[in-house]
């Protein structure tokens, strides 16, 4: 819908008509308008109007949405926030497992040694992240079945010290907004492959094998079923979810779900795991995604107290982050993340996550209800205006029209 700003508009110029396109430069648009109306005050017009169909604070000159390039910076900003919240003497304590977790997804090994062991440990793994880490598949992976065996070994090695393993995959839909994002990231033409036990992939790079969304959808279903099959007799509880279907190697039944993103489905499974496990159990998410950190923090009150995320930078404990933000700001964090720039929401021009977070931490309580009033446009606009307006308006301006 944002591409509609790039359409041509017919403008009357005396006795003629001209097509004015959004991609024209600002000066050309101004001259056309100035010639069509002799009474126009160019100085006033330039100072008060942008001569564009879409606001420049949110869109490029051609009408396309501004992509967010610094989404991942939010991770380090939130981690820094937790360090500032911890007393000075606590900074001297070693961060158990921070170095091992940095390479855990690559090596498949993690040292979870701790002086205070929980009664039960639950691992929640983003399946496609683990698949993509198999980019250098072993020489023994000749067929898809061999690949599933390598994947199972990596998963079991990564979660060797855990009592419960929850493996979640994305759902690939043709009518999804994510499909457009994947098309932009894809290099070269997508090729669809059949996913069967005997499919030969010896000379096919994994990146090319996964270039087609349908192949990825079939592979996620295949791996989810194979993991349960390989661990049917295991003493551990193994749960896999792909394409809306959730299964396990024990007598657990799950309803079908319509979740597309593994991020939200991981939260759903984490809440279920928190209910069926003792209060002193541990939840560990294995995902480098910024969205996971945001969602886990926002829903921390529904999860076990001992909840953490294994990311590229190390282990992020959620309790200090929840305490540093406070309940209201933590619950509104997904709305803040979407408002300031995410995958499909775009961003504000010249304003990054660091600036937004500083403003967010000082915002009034009304702003913290963003997630509850998105649907009320007038109220949302009124409450958000004090948040973003100072970023674009100099305090010396005599008058600001909102």
Summarised one tens digit per residue, pLDDT across range 271-310 is 999 999 999 999 999 999 999 999 999 999 999 999 999 9
Length of the chain: 402
Nearest to 144 by CA among 191, 193, 199: 199
Collapsing DSSP to helix, strand or coil, 242 comes out as: strand
Going by the DSSP 8-state scheme, the letter that residue 307 receives in this structure is: E
Contact 333, 298 (CB under 8 A): yes
Contact 171, 260 (CB under 8 A): yes
Strand bridging mode 306-311 / 314-317: antiparallel
Beta strands (DSSP E) in 169-313 are: 237-242, 245-248, 282-286, 306-311
Q: What was the pLDDT predicted at 53?
A: 67
Arithmetic mean of pLDDT, 199-225: 92
> What DSSP string runs through 10-42?
EEEETTEEEEEETTS-HHHHHHHHHHH-TT--H
- Residue 189's pLDDT band (boundaries 50, 70, 90)? confident
CA distance 192 to 223: 17
Nearest to 372 by CA among 319, 326, 334: 334
- For residue 387, give both structure tokens: 């948040």
- Residue 354's pLDDT band (boundaries 50, 70, 90)? very high
Nearest to 333 by CA among 358, 369, 301: 369
26/337: higher pLDDT: 337
Chain position carrying tokens 């005396």? 14
Strand bridging mode 16-21 / 8-13: antiparallel
CA distance 79 to 207: 32
Q: Write down the domain spans for the chain.
A: 1-59, 121-276
Q: Could you give the angle at the alpha carbon of 48 between the alpha carbons of 47 and 49, nearest 5°?
A: 110
Q: Which of 116-120, 209-213, 236-240, 366-370 has the lowest mean pLDDT?
A: 366-370
pLDDT averaged over every residue in the chain = 80
- Residue 70's pLDDT band (boundaries 50, 70, 90)? confident
Task: Indicate whether 96 pLDDT > 50.
Answer: no
Q: What was the pLDDT predicted at 2?
A: 41
CB-based burial of residue 6 (10 Å sphere; 0-12 exposed, 13-18 middle, 19+ buried)? middle
- Residue 158's pLDDT band (boundaries 50, 70, 90)? very high
Write the CB contacts of 207 (distance below 8 Å, at least 6 apart in sequence): 135
Q: What was the pLDDT predicted at 397?
A: 45
| Crossing angle of helices 290-298 and 73-85, rounded to 10° | 40
Q: What percent of the chain has pLDDT over 70?
A: 69
Strand bridging mode 121-126 / 282-286: parallel
CA distance 102 to 303: 24
pTM of the model: 0.77
Q: What was the pLDDT predicted at 285?
A: 98
Beta strands (DSSP E) in 207-321 are: 237-242, 245-248, 282-286, 306-311, 314-317
């Amino acid at each position: 819908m944002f591409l509609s700003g790039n359409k041509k508009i017919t403008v009357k110029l005396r006795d003629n008509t001209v097509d004015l396109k959004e991609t024209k430069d600002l000066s050309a648009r101004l001259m056309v308008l100035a010639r069509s109306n002799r009474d126009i005050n160019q100085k006033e017009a330039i100072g008060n109007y942008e001569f564009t169909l879409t606001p420049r604070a949110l869109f490029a000159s051609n009408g396309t949405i501004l992509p967010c390039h610094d989404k991942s910076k939010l991770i380090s900003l939130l981690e820094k926030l937790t360090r500032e919240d911890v007393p000075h003497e606590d900074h001297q304590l070693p961060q158990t497992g921070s170095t091992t977790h940095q390479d855990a997804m690559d090596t498949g090994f993690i040292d979870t040694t701790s002086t205070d062991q929980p009664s039960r440990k639950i691992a929640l793994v983003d399946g496609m992240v683990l698949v993509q880490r198999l980019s250098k598949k072993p020489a023994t992976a000749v067929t898809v079945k061999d690949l599933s065996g390598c994947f199972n070994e990596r998963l079991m090695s990564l979660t060797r010290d855990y009592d419960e393993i929850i493996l979640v995959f994305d759902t690939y839909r043709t009518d999804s907004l994510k499909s457009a994002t994947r098309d932009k990231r894809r290099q070269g033409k997508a090729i669809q492959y059949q996913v069967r036990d005997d499919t030969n992939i010896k000379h096919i790079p994994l990146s090319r094998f996964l270039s087609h969304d349908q192949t990825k959808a079939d592979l996620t279903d295949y791996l989810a079923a194979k993991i349960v099959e390989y661990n049917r007799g295991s003493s551990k509880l193994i749960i896999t979810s792909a394409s809306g279907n959730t299964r396990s190697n024990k007598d657990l039944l799950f309803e079908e779900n319509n979740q597309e993103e593994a991020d939200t489905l991981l939260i759903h499974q984490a809440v279920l795991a928190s209910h069926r496990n003792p209060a002193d159990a541990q939840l560990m998410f294995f995902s480098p995604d910024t969205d996971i950190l945001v969602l886990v923090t926002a829903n921390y009150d529904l999860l076990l107290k001992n909840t953490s995320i294994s990311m590229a930078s190390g282990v992020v404990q959620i309790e200090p982050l929840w305490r540093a933000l406070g309940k209201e700001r933590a619950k509104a964090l997904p709305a803040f993340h979407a408002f300031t720039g995410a995958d499909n929401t775009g961003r504000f021009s010249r304003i990054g996550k660091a600036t937004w977070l500083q403003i967010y931490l000082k915002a009034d309580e009304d702003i913290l209800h963003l997630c509850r009033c998105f649907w009320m446009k007038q109220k949302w606009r009124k409450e958000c205006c004090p948040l973003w307006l100072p970023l674009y308006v100099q305090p010396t301006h005599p008058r600001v029209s909102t």
